[in-house]
Structure 1
Amino acid sequence: MTTSTIRKKDDRLFDILNLIFLTVVGLTVLYPLYFVVIASFSNPDAVNSGEMWLFPKDITFEGYNRIFQDSRIWIGYLNTVKYTLVGTLVNVLLTVMGAYALSRKDLYGRNVVMLFFIFTMFFSGGLIPTYLLVKDLGMLNSMWALILPKAVALFNLIVTRTFFQTTLPDELLEAAKMDGCSDFRFFFNFALPLSKPIIAVIGLYYGVSHWNSYFDALIYLNREAAYPLQLILRNILIQSQISAQMLGGGIEGLAAQQRIAELIKYGVIIVASFPLLIVYPFLQRYFVQGVMIGSVKG
């Protein structure tokens, strides 16, 4: 038996073990998502008793009907889309511009500036001082209270700066300057077009963060008309649970209300996650490229 034959058998064994391992990991990740989907339109009694674990049972869409009949859902969707689009645009613009400036070796004092940024990773003013600052700036009950205090995430700034340092060679900038290209023109005509992978990655990070955020809205907003979707769904879920606990219609009425609360619980997860599941496949190609930034240099 030759060495190449032994190596082929070892490679085949490795591939089989790797496939088994990845299959187990994939099922471990995907099954909870699948369970939530089928539980959202299955009989809650079958879900709670463990009878439903692979296929939906006694299909009912009562939970979704209750959710979408609430006009607050559509208001929350509209607000969340607005906050996500505007917030992500502001986040990406400031992060890319800041990262590009910090990646330039000719920026005087860039290490000191970076040190101030890194300092914020370990120390912050806290919730109360931040709230007072937002209040003094007159941003309460506005979308800017949800966007500007977190306009730049330091992790994304560092990753983007690393991207510029490893992707834009100094020779390219020197050649552009020799042709009379200004710094602003180089940034918009060269740096940005070459930054599609990292823009997609940080845009996805920021977008998911804005879409899933509800705590900032809970702190800074007190008008229900301005609530994002996540806060609306949280209130609906809490209200359904409270009404199930306080219902005075007897045991049968209480059981029925609890069934609806269970349907709503799974339904709101799907309603909140569905838009992101649609967007992600279109950004996956750039996302895979972007997350590899910094892993290979040279």
Structure 2
Amino acid sequence: MLANRRERSVGESVFQIGNILFMIVMVVITLYPFFYVVVSSLSDSHQLVSHTGLLLLPKGFTFGAYERVFQNPNVLTGYRNTLLIVVGGTVLNLFMTSLGAYVLSRKGVKWAKYITLLIVFTMFFSGGLIPMYLLVNNWLHLGNSLFALIVPGLISTWNLIILRTSFEAIPENLIESARIDGANDFTILFRVVIPLSMSVMAVMILYYGVAHWNAWFGAMIYLRDRNLFPLQLVLREILIQNSTMGMAADASAMDAEAVGESIKYATIVVATLPILVVYPFLQKYFVKGVMIGSIKG
């Protein structure tokens, strides 16, 4: 008996050590690309281009790439537009999703099951890109405006289902008590239901906010005015279309390519850092909120 326990404890110890080492390797593999981008953005462009292999420290520490990035008016304008889209879009997303989830979560709503089936149907089938383009531009007349990036995606089906399930878990007695006190549905939603579902609402903020922050395809399709371009579309131009020459105008022709590499890395950091700063404040609600919104009863 003691021998079996000793063997089992040794086996468990070996497994734990192996598991820890494996996770450390996975963390390093996952984090190193972003670490490389940060270090490269702080490196001298000429030393960076000539460097090969792993990069653990900046080569010729400098903030020159960041100075060039923030001197580019397109980056600052993109930041402004993205913040408007993220803040305004997320507020509207939460409002519309909460309204839909509340209606579908209440007992006695006519055809609620059929409406839910129609909503879930949109997760698997859609009209396609061309009908959506015609809808936004010709029928809604939202083309070349920031509303074209917000209105078509006001409600996410997946988020609606999570929020509806969370609302269904709220005891019906609380809602009936509010009705007896004279509260209408809007009062019940905003003063009873939502305050009791703040963990799930935090998850919704994270989902919608990150989606708006990373979105670029809709802007590429609907926007023609460069003053309306969000940050991710500006980043795409810099990375894919190699439009860094204007940011390296004071460099010689031979140096422009090297300076452009540092600018690309700095732009990636500038576009990624804000969402990384916000994420830890919402992460503590993430698991709890998703579990509440995914398990009924």
Compute the TM-score of the two structures, normalised by the length of structure 2: 0.87
Does residue 267 of the first structure (1) align with residue 266 of the second (2)? yes
Q: Does 1:161 align with 2:164?
A: yes
In structure 2, how many angstroms separate the alpha carbons of the residues matched to 1:277 and 1:242? 25
Question: Which has the larger displacement, 43-52 or 102-111?
Answer: 43-52
1:190 is matched with 192
Shift of 1:88: 0.5
Shift of 1:13: 4.6
Give the drift of 1:90.
Answer: 0.7
- The residue that corresponds to 1:256 in the other structure is 255
Q: Residue in 1 aligned with 2:108?
A: 106
Distance in 2 separating the partners of 1:51 and 1:57: 13
Partner amino acid, structure 2, of 1:219: I
Distance 1:51 1:8, change over 3 A: closer
Q: Where does residue 143 of structure 1 map in the other structure?
A: 146
- 1:59 offset after TM fit, Å? 2.0
Is the contact between residue 95 and residue 156 of structure 1 (CA under 8 Å) also seen in structure 2?
Answer: yes
The aligned counterpart of 1:97 is 99
Asked if the contact 2:93/2:155 (under 8 Å) is kept, the reply is yes
Aligned counterpart, 1:22: 23
How far 1:216 moved relative to its partner? 1.0
Secondary structure at 1:141 match in 2 = coil
The answer to whether the 8 Å contact 1:62/1:260 transfers is no
Question: 1:291 maps to what in 2?
Answer: 290
Pick closer, same or farther for the CA change 1:190–1:13 going to 2, 3 Å.
Answer: farther
Match of 1:173 in 2: 175
- Residue aligning to 1:215: 217
Alpha carbons of 1:14 and 1:242: their partners in 2 closer, same or farther (altered >3 Å)?
Answer: closer
* C-alpha contact (below 8 Å) 2:41/2:266 kept by paired residues: yes
CA distance in 2 between counterparts of 1:124 and 1:144 reads 20
In structure 1, how many angstroms separate the alpha carbons of the residues matched to 2:221 and 2:24?
Answer: 42
Distance (whole Å) between structure 2 residues aligned to residue 175 and residue 10 of structure 1: 57
1:153-203 per-residue CA deviation (whole Å, 9 max, x = no partner) reads 1111111122222x3123333344444443332222211101111111111
Instruction: List alignment gaps of at least 5 residues for structure 1.
Output: none
**1:281 matched to which residue of 2?**
280
Q: Normalising by structure 1, report the TM-score.
A: 0.86
| Aligned counterpart, 1:203 | 205
- Decide whether the 8 Å contact of 2:164 with 2:293 is kept in 1: no
Task: Provide the rounded CA distance (Å) in 2 between the counterparts of 1:100 and 1:47.
Answer: 56
Over aligned residues, Cα RMSD in angstroms? 2.7
Question: In the alignment, residue 194 of structure 2 is paired with which amino acid?
Answer: L
Q: Does 1:76 align with 2:78?
A: yes
Distance 2:294 2:134 in 1: 41
| Residues 102-156 of structure 1 deviation map (CA, whole Å, 9 limit, x = unaligned) | 1223211111101111111122121121111111212112111110101111111
Mapping 1:26-105, distance limit 5 Å = 26-44=27-45, 45-46=47-48, 49-105=51-107
- Secondary structure of the structure 2 residue equivalent to 1:74: helix
1:60-95 per-residue CA deviation (whole Å, 9 max, x = no partner) reads 333222211112221111111111100001111111
Secondary structure of the 2:150 match is helix
The size of the alignment, in residue pairs, is 291
Q: 1:92, 1:202 within 8 Å by CA — same for their partners in 2?
A: yes
Distance, in Å, in 1 between the alignment partners of 2:294 and 2:7 is: 32
Distance 2:175 2:114 in 1: 24
